[in-house]
């Protein structure tokens, strides 16, 4: 857990990269998120840091000597912090390394970003208690939360191969469904396609098989966070999910934003982690003074929708909902401690999904399933269209940012994906 502020988050810092000083940028010098990119015609990805509307190529800037993000992520916290400090000092107003760094800059508009690292394994948790409650009510009105929810950070093993970076375009999946009125199940394109607003948590240093990570050391094993869209086919999910959980309803596509915002950059936005009155305290392996004092993170999250019709008419995306990561029922440190308590070995680059992050309000649902009350009440869009579930051509854009008086605002960039017609 980080509690000491360091010079890299000093709100007074400005950069000689002019666009980084724009108050509206997601990537001021206090952020410095890591990602992978390639230039036109290149096949291999390079490691870069987003700064304003530019990317700093870390190898060209002579800061690292590798193109292997996973190897970089696996170095210890001290080396990672030293690198962040060197990047920050080189990008500051008046830096003596300006000439070397200037030759290592390329416009974000001129690069293609990929998933930020090689993702070996992907686990999706279920930490959004408002999502779990609302969805649970749709299935079990009298008993929305199952008895394990407040004791176990519930999760399942997802699929890494179909995760792609922002800009992902995929076809409406086919699958087996069986509605209450159907005499027998049938195979066809999903008719209840949905998104899920989540955060992605990327593992830094690995732990050896058989050696749990204690909650006190858990956050040092986390490299950073991205936005994550866990696309979901609700009709396939409803038929297949019992008794082993989601399978083909979710493994056809998952989208992440390309820039990993480090835990160091998030320091100013930490919050106490508290359970509502009357809820059980976490078991000791999921509890620590630091986790209580600052386990939460104040990240404002938004879902935007641009339909094909909006795009044709030149209309911008429309905001569907907003919520905050601080409403999550389990913290980042608790997820790592729980995932490894049985000795499971996390690897550098492994991805943990937070689960859908909804707020308490009716308009704060992080999925259409919630916003349309299970498809029973369609949303009205400003252009007259309605949505119960996604339609072909819809682009869903997730955004996230942190703001706090006395600190520089930082953002996550975009996590956009588009649903294409079934093949």
Residue 130 catalytic? no
In the bound state with Ca ion, the residue whose beta carbon lies nearer, of 19 and 133, is: 133
CB of 254 to Ca ion, least distance (A): 9
Instruction: State the binding string over 269-308 for Ca ion (x if CB under 5 A, else -).
Output: ----------------------------------------
Rounded least distance, CB 179 to Ca ion, Å: 22
Contact positions with Ca ion (CB under 5 A) in 114-133: 124
With contacts defined by CB under 5 A, how many residues of the chain interact with Ca ion?
A: 3
Q: Tell whether residue 230 is a contact of Ca ion (CB under 5 A).
A: yes
Whether residue 299 contacts residue 261, with contact meaning beta carbons closer than 8 Å, is answered with no
Toward Ca ion, which CB reaches closer, 124 or 370?
A: 124
Least distance (Å) from Ca ion to the CB of residue 398?
13
Site for Ca ion contains 350 (CB under 5 A) = no
Point out which span in 143-151, 196-204, 211-219, 220-228 binds Ca ion (CB under 5 A).
Answer: 196-204
55 versus 228: smaller Cβ distance to Ca ion: 228
Q: Is 370 in the site for Ca ion (CB under 5 A)?
A: no
Distance in Å, CB of 346 to Ca ion, minimum: 19
Selected from 196, 205, 220, 370, the binder of Ca ion by CB under 5 A is: 196
Residues classed as catalytic: 131
Which residues of the chain form contacts with Ca ion (CB under 5 A)? 124, 196, 230
């Amino acid at each position: 857990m980080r509690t000491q502020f360091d010079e890299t988050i000093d709100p007074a810092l400005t950069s000689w990269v002019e666009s980084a000083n724009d108050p509206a940028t997601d990537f001021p010098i206090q952020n410095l998120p890591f990602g992978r990119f390639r230039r036109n015609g290149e096949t291999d990805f390079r490691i870069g840091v987003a700064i304003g509307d530019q990317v700093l190529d870390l190898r060209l800037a002579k800061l690292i000597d590798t193109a292997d993000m996973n190897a970089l992520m696996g170095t210890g916290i001290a080396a990672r912090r030293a690198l962040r400090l060197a990047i920050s000092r080189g990008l500051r107003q008046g830096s003596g390394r300006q000439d070397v760094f200037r030759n290592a800059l390329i416009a974000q508009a001129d690069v293609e970003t990929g998933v930020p690292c090689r993702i070996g394994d992907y686990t999706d948790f279920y930490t959004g208690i408002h999502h779990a409650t609302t969805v649970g009510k749709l299935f079990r009105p009298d008993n929305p939360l199952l008895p394990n929810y407040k004791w176990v950070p519930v999760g399942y093993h997802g699929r890494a191969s179909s995760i792609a970076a922002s800009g992902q375009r995929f076809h409406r999946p086919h699958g087996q469904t069986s509605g209450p009125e159907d005499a027998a199940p049938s195979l066809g394109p999903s008719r209840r396609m949905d998104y899920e607003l989540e955060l992605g948590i990327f593992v830094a240093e690995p732990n050896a098989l058989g050696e749990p990570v204690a909650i006190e050391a858990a956050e040092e094993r986390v490299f950073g966070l991205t936005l994550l869209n866990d696309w979901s086919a609700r009709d396939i999910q409803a038929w297949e999910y019992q008794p082993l959980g989601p399978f083909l309803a979710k493994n056809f596509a998952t989208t992440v934003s390309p820039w990993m915002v480090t835990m160091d950059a998030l320091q100013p936005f930490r919050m106490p982690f508290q359970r509502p009155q009357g809820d059980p305290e976490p078991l000791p392996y999921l509890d620590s003074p630091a986790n209580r004092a600052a386990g939460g993170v104040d990240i404002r999250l938004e879902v935007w929708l641009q339909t094909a019709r909006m795009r044709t008419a030149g209309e911008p995306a429309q905001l569907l909902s907003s919520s905050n990561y601080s409403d999550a029922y389990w913290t980042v440190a608790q997820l790592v401690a729980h995932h490894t308590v049985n000795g499971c070995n996390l690897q550098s680059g492994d991805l943990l999904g937070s689960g859908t992050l909804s707020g308490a309000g009716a308009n704060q649902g992080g999925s259409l399933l919630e916003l349309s009350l299970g498809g029973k009440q369609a949303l009205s869009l400003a252009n007259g269209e309605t949505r119960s579930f996604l339609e072909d051509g819809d682009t869903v854009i997730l955004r996230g940012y942190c703001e706090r008086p006395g600190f520089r605002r930082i953002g996550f960039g975009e996590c956009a994906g588009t649903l294409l017609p079934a093949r």
